[in-house]
Amino acid sequence: MSEQRSESNAVAHAHAATPRPGARASNVQSLFSNLSSPLPDWAILLGALVLISIASVASLALQLNAPDGPPLSARAYGVTGGWALARWVETLGYPTRMVESRPYKIPDSVELLFMLQPSSVYALGESDTKELMRWVHSGGTLVVAVQSNVDYPITRRGAPQTSRGDFTALAAFGITATTSGKFSASNTPQTVDIVGQLDSDAVLSSFSIRGSNELEAPNDATVLATLDGRVVAVSRYQGDGRVIAFASPYAFSNEGLDEDNNARLVLSLLGTVAGGSTIGFDEYQHGSRQATSITSWLVSAPAGQGTLLALLLLAAYILWTGRRLGRIFVPPELRIRRIPSEYVVAMANLARAAGQQNATLQRYNHSLKQRLGKPYRIDPILPDDVFVAELAQSDAGVDGKRLLALLTSLSRGTRSRTEFVRLARDAAEYA
């Protein structure tokens, strides 16, 4: 056992004192391997934060430079926007709520809903129409103002655009809107003739319209206003609720609301519900469709659907390649750290089992010559006799005969474990 320990110490000293061939190449390889190793978690998180910040700034810049619209949106500030109406309703003491959930859902707390110039680009689907009819039949008051085309200027950057109206909501309640060719589509606001009233508490005032649309409604509907013989405003009860339709949304726009008669029209419509009732603005058909939860966003939103597909593909790839989901679990009994002497003994046993005794002695030979010749700049690669001769010339105290015998024995090697340990000890302790 003592011989084995001595042999282990000798091998460990040999590895520590003697530079391995190709050590410089190993260092270079280690450098490149470190460069190609996976990035740490903090670097990945920092990079993700930087990318998110850049994307947020870019999105804000695009929004600031985007055209003002869509028409009659409660968030649009342009002349054809509906921002003034939403803010004025709030000022009058009515809580407001944007209806923009995905999927389409009108809260029961909303008593009156303004659907102003719904866009054909975001037309209501079958399930959306059923939700709208459910809400009206449950007692809601729907105000729809839509015409075939609304030309609106861009108040920020870009060219003027045209918004095509969606008549799905009107058709759901038996009201049709057509463009009459016998009437001119003048851009000049025209005042309509009042022929009917909303109810005894809400008296309809005069208001202005644009365009040449006219409405057709069933016999049970009430005609509220006409212009040059065409119907431009009707009201129809549906279940416990009511639908009030206008052939033009001009009176509710930021520009039209500046006129007193149009402002009185809004007050008349608000008079059909109790004071303090929640007033809704349909932004769903203006393209603002917000997911109410992560699940609905993943299922209904285009970006969510793309994310869900990417996650499914990633999961399929992980399962297909057989990768582990998470870190490898190591039982507690296998997490015990080994002491350094165990590695030394293991390396010694490995060298002995591989028959590397002579190679180890040759490394001792080179290490000894390197240590002795370094102060005198003598090359350790020289043959043993030449090395000893030059060393004796530089250092008179060197026992050349003894040193040459030791170097020769180290170079020759041995098959005896006892002699191997003795030579390694003599080389290590040579002074």
112 with 8, same domain: the answer is: no
In angstroms, the CA 72 to CA 282 distance is: 10
Asked if the structure places residue 319 within a domain, the reply is no
224 with 343, same domain: the answer is: no
265 with 371, same domain: the answer is: no
359 with 265, same domain: the answer is: no
Asked if the structure places residue 61 within a domain, the reply is no
Q: How many domains would you assign to the chain?
A: 2
Please state, as a whole number, how many other Cβ atoms lie within 10 Å of the Cβ of residue 375: 10
Residue where a domain terminates, one of 239, 263, 292 = 292
269 with 353, same domain: the answer is: no
284 with 361, same domain: the answer is: no
Residue where a domain terminates, one of 271, 292, 313 = 292
213 with 122, same domain: the answer is: yes
The pLDDT value recorded for residue 262 is 93
In angstroms, the CA 327 to CA 198 distance is: 70
Asked if the structure places residue 45 within a domain, the reply is no
The pLDDT value recorded for residue 24 is 43
340 with 288, same domain: the answer is: no
**Ranges assigned E (strand) in 175-221:** 176-179, 190-191, 193-194, 208-209, 213-216
The pLDDT value recorded for residue 356 is 75
Question: Could you read off the pLDDT of 218-243 as tens digits, one per residue?
Answer: 999 999 999 988 899 999 999 999 99
The pLDDT value recorded for residue 363 is 86
Q: For residue 429, count CB atoms less than 10 angstroms from its CB and return exposed for 0-12, middle for 13-18, buried for 19 or more.
A: exposed
Residue-number span of the structural domain to which 179 is assigned = 83-292
In angstroms, the CA 180 to CA 250 distance is: 18
341 with 288, same domain: the answer is: no
Asked if the structure places residue 283 within a domain, the reply is yes
Asked if the structure places residue 51 within a domain, the reply is no
What 3-state DSSP class applies to 149?
strand
Q: Which ranges of the chain have pLDDT less than 50?
A: 1-8, 10-36, 183
Asked if the structure places residue 52 within a domain, the reply is no
Rounded to two decimals, the pTM is 0.56
Q: Please count the residues of the chain.
A: 431
265 with 134, same domain: the answer is: yes
Asked if the structure places residue 176 within a domain, the reply is yes
The per-residue pLDDT of the chain, averaged, comes to 80
Question: Could you read off the pLDDT of 159-213 as tens digits, one per residue?
Answer: 677 888 999 999 999 999 887 655 455 678 888 989 989 887 788 888 999 888 8
What CATH number does the domain containing 133 carry?
Answer: 3.40.50.880
The pLDDT value recorded for residue 53 is 76
Q: Angle, nearest 10°, between helix axes 357-373 and 2-17? A: 50
The pLDDT value recorded for residue 302 is 63
410 with 275, same domain: the answer is: no
User: Which two tokens mark 194?
Assistant: 């009042």
Checking DSSP bridges between strand 190-191 and strand 208-209, what pairing results, if any?
A: antiparallel
Asked if the structure places residue 188 within a domain, the reply is yes
The pLDDT value recorded for residue 169 is 93
The pLDDT value recorded for residue 102 is 78
Residue where a domain terminates, one of 239, 272, 292 = 292
198 with 347, same domain: the answer is: no
